[in-house]
Structure 1
């Protein structure tokens, strides 16, 4: 199975985050290395418009390929369009037909190769259309809401359930670490169907780096694993 790692050069929340050193190694390197250790993944493709990201990715074991068009790397570009473009290009360049593939975001450095393999195994065993990684929400979603410009709080749901947390059904959110897709699902413009399954990951491996605070938290969690 092919793994696609989408990594654009222009990040607003944390500029240069994909090449930023996390424990003396570029952030994107952790995702490439975990993908290469997977028992199911045969090729790792980094989809980027940045020559710097491309060069670093090849250094850490990603397959050589061409840069993606800059119009697929803007603030308004849709991720699904990058997946469609990348899969189509690989099929054309290598004269192969891809049935399914994995997407691994470089912003989830604590995801392991075992996580990847277990998610892919679930995908095969369930004959799923897709498998997405999730982690448990620490507070009930029923407590969530919006804060207006005036400072007024507006509940997300009409009934603002104030029951004790332990009495409410647990909710889960996608942690951005692993996506396993059937190609036909993505080509139809969807991520999920009623045949989508969740691969559950613990919170300590579910850090999704968008900000400097996220980055520092990942460094803290890695602790003694950081190379000195």
Structure 2
């Protein structure tokens, strides 16, 4: 059984330029995900998919494989993560005759996701027999959200029980935090999806779920790492 860890790292980023290689608490951002993957004994290979020479070089320095530079059509804003994963699997099969059974997707923008998180999610996946995605409790409950209609605010979603107006009375809801995705060959290559009807959540705390999109996120992650919070 081959489990391949894939870390997608495009060179162009609009929210925070060159974020994947920016130094965060002494090492480039992408290094955190590479280290987390390398420390998992079940993972056969750790591959960074990038279109950028600098990212490729740094990824290699930190122990990841970069067997190709991503083609231009997969380096645009419109390229999907599914396309990037499928391209990697195709490349390994066509160029190295390497069969990929399972994929661990680690986004480089989640530096507070640790080896322990990845280990627990992988164990959950191997025991469950279906895709696993990492989530955290949603900051804002959808039943408390409002939309504007004809100058007035109306509920985004109707409460199942109109008496439930306090957050603690509402059902827990989760949001994808982008840190960990685990899936198999069939879902990716046949279903063209990471998951379909059945997926199991791996719940992470809010602090570990920081996803770096802009400078504020980067500063927050820096503070948490310096404080030894994770």
TM-score by length of 1: 0.91
CA pair 26-155 structure 1, distance change in 2 beyond 3 A: same
* Partner secondary structure for residue 133 of structure 1: strand
* Partner secondary structure for residue 21 of structure 2: coil
Alignment of 1:1-228 (within 5 A): 1-128=3-130, 130-146=131-147, 153-159=153-159, 163-187=165-189, 188-225=191-228
Answer whether contact 2:5 2:106 (CA < 8 A) is retained: yes
Distance in 2 separating the partners of 1:152 and 1:12:
34
Distance in 1 separating the partners of 2:148 and 2:221:
28
Q: Write out per-residue CA displacement over residues 137-160 of structure 1, whole angstroms, 9 at most, x where no aligned residue.
A: 233221123468x98545322459
* Partner secondary structure for residue 32 of structure 2: helix
- What's the Cα RMSD here? 2.0
Q: Write out per-residue CA displacement over residues 105-135 of structure 1, whole angstroms, 9 at most, x where no aligned residue.
A: 000001111111111111111111x110001
Answer whether contact 1:4 1:101 (CA < 8 A) is retained: yes
CA pair 120-151 structure 1, distance change in 2 beyond 3 A: farther
Q: Which runs of 5+ in 1 are unaligned?
A: none
Report the CA distance between 1:39 and its aligned residue: 2.4
Q: Write out per-residue CA displacement over residues 41-97 of structure 1, whole angstroms, 9 at most, x where no aligned residue.
A: 121100000001000000000013110101101111111111111111012222122
Answer whether contact 1:139 1:165 (CA < 8 A) is retained: no
CA pair 147-17 structure 1, distance change in 2 beyond 3 A: farther
* Partner secondary structure for residue 18 of structure 1: helix
Answer whether contact 1:132 1:180 (CA < 8 A) is retained: yes
* Partner secondary structure for residue 56 of structure 2: helix
Distance in 2 separating the partners of 1:193 and 1:49:
29
Answer whether contact 1:31 1:106 (CA < 8 A) is retained: yes
Distance in 2 separating the partners of 1:38 and 1:177:
16
Answer whether contact 1:48 1:68 (CA < 8 A) is retained: yes
Answer whether contact 1:38 1:114 (CA < 8 A) is retained: no
Q: Which runs of 5+ in 2 are unaligned?
A: none
Answer whether contact 2:103 2:182 (CA < 8 A) is retained: yes
Distance in 2 separating the partners of 1:49 and 1:181:
24
CA pair 84-169 structure 1, distance change in 2 beyond 3 A: same
Distance in 1 separating the partners of 2:107 and 2:117:
13
TM-score by length of 2: 0.91
